Amino acid sequence: MKVGMIFECGPGGADKTVCIHLAKRIDPGIQTEARTLDDKPNLIANCGSAAAELFKDGCDRVVIVWDSRPAWPDMESKPCLKKERRAIYDSLRGANVQSERVYLVCIMQELEAWLLADERAIGAVLSSPAHPVAIHRRRKVDQIPNPKSVLNNIFKEHKGRRYVDRIHAEQIVKAMPDLNRLRRVKTFHRFALKVADVEL
């Protein structure tokens, strides 16, 4: 099966690298093709034409992934999932895309919530042979208001440097020994189901 994915990041963005890695861990035989639309407003406005391109390129389904939490503090209003979904479906209809083959996955609050789900992986990335790092386990990570800030504080505490999503997100997800922690996060469970029909 070939799955198209649409993200609110740039070509080398963390959302894309993490989700493609996870899709292949869920189903090693899966083929993926991605479109990156830079930010949430652009994703909402242009996901229809991007989905049309992905279906034209032979994708069997398309998964649209975005964060509920706005990435920039200057966004005018609080995120509303209902309004965002409606606008996405409007974009799909405008591009004559059948929504039955398009699946929406909104990550609560942002991608870093998924990373915080596995403290073992974060510890592995921060550890060195001489200085192993143990991170305490967090539950209900999708309810943490600002997961990226939490991860940034962990990196500064243990490494004296900031968390950089385009570098460290992929390192963390690759360090996950399994998906047992992550599968407890509802939005990841939905992602797995929509990408590969897998019930975790």
- Four-residue CA torsion sign, 32, 37, 43, 49: negative
* Residue-wise DSSP of 2-38: EEEEEESS-TT-HHHHHHHHHHHHH-TT-EEEEEE-S
Percent of the chain with pLDDT over 90: 90
**One domain for residues 10 and 28:** yes
Q: What average pLDDT does this structure show over 82-87?
A: 93
**One domain for residues 96 and 15:** yes
Note the pLDDT tens digit of each residue in 94-106. 999 988 999 999 9
**One domain for residues 62 and 142:** no
* CATH number of the domain residue 30 falls in: 3.40.50
- Please report which confidence band the pLDDT of residue 70 belongs to, taking 50, 70 and 90 as the band edges: low
Residue 137 has pLDDT above 60, yes or no: yes
What domain range includes position 39? 2-109+182-196
pLDDT in the model for residue 78: 64
Note the pLDDT tens digit of each residue in 165-190. 999 999 999 999 999 999 999 999 99
Residue 141 has pLDDT above 70, yes or no: yes
Number of domains in the chain: 2
**One domain for residues 66 and 138:** no
**One domain for residues 135 and 94:** no
